[in-house]
Amino acid sequence: MTHHNVAVVGAGLSGLTLARVLHRHGVDAAVYEQEPSRHTRAQGGMLDIHDDTGAVALHAAGLHDEFRALVLPKGQETRVLDRHGVVHLAEQDDGTGDRPEIDRGHLRDLLLDALPAGTVRWGARVRTAQRIGDHHEVTLADGTTFSTDLLVGADGAWSRIRPLVSPATPAYTGVSFVELDLPDADARHPAAAALVGGGMMFALGAGQGFLAHRESGGDVHVYAALTVPEEWIAGVDFADTAAAKAVLLDRFADWDASLRAVIADAEGDLVPRPIHALPVGHRWDHVPGVTLLGDAAHLMSPFAGEGANLAMLDGAGLGLALAAHPGDPDEAVTAYETALFPRGESSAAASAAGQAACFRDDAPQGLLDLFAAHR
Ligand SMILES: Cc1cc2nc3c(=O)[nH]c(=O)nc-3n(C[C@H](O)[C@H](O)[C@H](O)COP(=O)(O)OP(=O)(O)OC[C@H]3O[C@@H](n4cnc5c(N)ncnc54)[C@H](O)[C@@H]3O)c2cc1C
């Protein structure tokens, strides 16, 4: 059976950052990823990288300069509208902000390209993992097995590794997104392009709204957000795009025509994304030989914009801890988890508060207050 000193399940931002930081410190890790290749799924969406989390991780990975070269010019422009289309906040991006935006796919490629060939085992879906003696044994969907001294669950919201340390499972937050795309927006959707601007646009009303990003290729990517029961979103037939659009337009019936047009004019499939979260303050008693990173550890709603930033910081933090405690992975993991739990709790609480603030009856005032407090 193949044996690894460190095996990581999941080639998302957390697992890749860990592998990269370990590689920089001369430690090889094996990364097992269920997707058949890096191109299987469009990574989609923009991420703003925060100075105190994601950027710290990119420095630890030795990739901060390369990241800066990929930042979207004007990506930090921010607009906040109400449901009548009235603009309450319009900020320009003068290049000095502390939240540079990058295409999620570009960031993942940056990390992948900085790893030795063969580090990521593609098409390797982990089915089960268990402790055997002083190590863990993992079985893949194709029946092959491997063992490892340190098993790292970087496998996202529905982690297969989490049950080894915690019985917690994600719960629905009460909010669902529906993803909409307006490709080549300046040429094909000029009104929507102007509405969104060069960066991020929020249009918020009581219990619902739009969160839209300008992407690096000029596309506009929109999340229509709805406070609805999980059964409601599960009941919409998204295979029938015209019918799904009609359902969505009905929910936004009394919104300004410029905002409703974002739904009507969207191209391609509408993709539902019910938003789940682990309990705020999720933690576990240390279990030798296994730990979690990123969403597997602290899945939260995206309303603090911290999930991916923390995922990378977790990966970097564990990598640096392992490098600092050669020969004693348990001490390294304990040090990592000691830092992980309070920062995960604080961001998860901020996400939950941000979600509530966005959809208050006096929206968009809650978000405007949050922005004012941030400054
Ligand atoms: C709609 C939305 C918008 C968001 N916006 C932002 C934002 O603006 N800013 C921000 O910071 N965060 C944002 N987030 C959160 C962010 O996307 C996540 O926190 C981040 O991607 C977590 O990274 P991860 O590496 O922990 O997990 P993931 O990115 O989920 O990666 C997990 C990997 O594990 C693999 N995997 C899963 N199961 C297995 C298995 N059994 N075997 C092998 N491989 C497996 C998956 O294929 C995947 O590649 C958003 C999230 C959502 C849903």
Residue 292 alpha carbon to ligand 1 centre in Å: 13
Check the annotation: does 181 bind a ligand.
no
Give residue 213's pLDDT.
94
What is the band of 125 on the pLDDT scale with cuts at 50, 70, 90?
A: very high
Q: Is residue 370 part of a domain?
A: no
Helix (H, G, I), strand (E, B) or coil at 154: coil
Show the tokens assigned to 217: 């290729």
Atom of ligand 1 nearest to the CA of 16: 25
Does 207 have pLDDT greater than 90? yes
Work out how many domains the chain is built from and give that number: 2
Question: How many C-beta atoms surround the C-beta of residue 114 within 10 A?
Answer: 18
Cβ contact 209:88 at 8 Å? no
Pair 55, 139 in one domain:
yes
Pair 60, 160 in one domain:
yes
Q: Is residue 114 part of a domain?
A: yes
Q: Is residue 81 part of a domain?
A: no
Q: Would you say the CB of residue 22 lies under 6 angstroms from ligand 1?
A: no
Does 67 have pLDDT greater than 90? yes
Q: How far is CA 109 from CA 38, 69, 70, 155, in A?
A: 8, 13, 11, 18
What is the band of 43 on the pLDDT scale with cuts at 50, 70, 90?
A: low
Residue 362: strand pairing partners: none
How many helices (H) and strands (E) in the chain?
13, 16
Look at residues 277, 300, 315 and tell me which one is the last residue of a structural domain. Answer: 277
Does 41 have pLDDT greater than 90? no
Pair 207, 266 in one domain:
yes
Query: Among 65-74, 93-102, 213-222, which is the least confidently predicted range?
Result: 93-102
Of the candidates 245, 7, 300, 312, which has an alpha carbon nearest to the alpha carbon of residue 149? 7
- Tokens 């970087």 locate to 154
Pair 215, 240 in one domain:
yes
Pair 336, 187 in one domain:
no
Q: In this prediction, what percent of the chain has a pLDDT beyond 70?
A: 99
| Atom 17 of ligand 1, nearest CA residue | 308
Q: Is residue 366 part of a domain?
A: no
Rounded Cα–Cα distance for residues 155 and 162 (Å): 9
Q: Would you say the CB of residue 47 lies under 6 angstroms from ligand 1?
A: yes
Pair 177, 154 in one domain:
no
Pair 139, 29 in one domain:
yes
Check the annotation: does 68 bind a ligand.
no
Of the candidates 175, 282, 181, which has an alpha carbon nearest to the alpha carbon of residue 233? 175
Check the annotation: does 160 bind a ligand.
no
Residue among 120, 146, 178, 295 whose CB has most ligand 1 atoms within 8 A, to mutate: 295
Give residue 74's pLDDT.
80
Does 127 have pLDDT greater than 90? yes
Q: Would you say the CB of residue 292 lies under 6 angstroms from ligand 1?
A: no
What is the band of 375 on the pLDDT scale with cuts at 50, 70, 90?
A: confident
Residue 68 alpha carbon to ligand 1 centre in Å: 22
Give residue 283's pLDDT.
98
Pair 149, 7 in one domain:
yes
- Tokens 């990521």 locate to 120
Q: How far is CA 357 from CA 230, 346, 369, in A?
A: 20, 16, 9
Contacts of 128 (CB under 8 A, 6+ apart): 138, 139, 160
Describe the crossing of helices 104-113 and 13-24 by its angle, rounded to 10 degrees.
30
Q: Is residue 77 part of a domain?
A: no
Look at residues 262, 277, 292 and tell me which one is the last residue of a structural domain. Answer: 277
| Tens digit of each residue's pLDDT (9 = 90 or more) over 270-326 | 999 999 999 999 999 999 999 999 999 999 999 999 999 999 999 999 999 999 999
Cβ contact 17:319 at 8 Å? yes
Rounded Cα–Cα distance for residues 192 and 84 (Å): 15
Helix, strand, coil percent content, the chain, rounded in steps of 5:
35, 25, 35
Pair 251, 271 in one domain:
yes
What is the band of 94 on the pLDDT scale with cuts at 50, 70, 90?
A: confident
Residue among 31, 33, 103 whose CB has most ligand 1 atoms within 8 A, to mutate: 33
Pair 15, 111 in one domain:
yes
Residue 179 alpha carbon to ligand 1 centre in Å: 16
Q: Would you say the CB of residue 126 lies under 6 angstroms from ligand 1?
A: yes
Pair 273, 293 in one domain:
no
Q: Is residue 209 part of a domain?
A: yes
Check the annotation: does 104 bind a ligand.
yes
| Atom 9 of ligand 1, nearest CA residue | 305
Range of the domain at 157: 2-72+99-169+278-358
CATH number of the domain enclosing 110: 3.50.50.60
Q: Is residue 87 part of a domain?
A: no
| Tens digit of each residue's pLDDT (9 = 90 or more) over 176-205 | 999 999 999 999 999 999 999 999 999 999
Q: Would you say the CB of residue 155 lies under 6 angstroms from ligand 1?
A: yes
Look at residues 235, 260, 277 and tell me which one is the last residue of a structural domain. Answer: 277
Q: Where are the beta strands (DSSP E) in 117-205?
A: 120-121, 126-132, 135-140, 145-153, 171-182, 200-205
Atom of ligand 1 nearest to the CA of 54: 11
Q: Is residue 84 part of a domain?
A: no
Residue 361 alpha carbon to ligand 1 centre in Å: 30
Looking at mean pLDDT, say which of 37-46, 90-99, 203-212 comes out highest. Answer: 203-212
Rounded Cα–Cα distance for residues 250 and 268 (Å): 19
Atom of ligand 1 nearest to the CA of 127: 41
Residue 156 alpha carbon to ligand 1 centre in Å: 5
Does 44 have pLDDT greater than 70? no
Give residue 199's pLDDT.
93
CATH number of the domain enclosing 244: 3.30.9.30
Whether the full predicted model's pTM is greater than 0.85, yes or no, is yes
What is the band of 75 on the pLDDT scale with cuts at 50, 70, 90?
A: confident
Of the candidates 38, 114, 119, which has an alpha carbon nearest to the alpha carbon of residue 312? 114
Residue among 16, 34, 181 whose CB has most ligand 1 atoms within 8 A, to mutate: 34
Pair 226, 200 in one domain:
yes
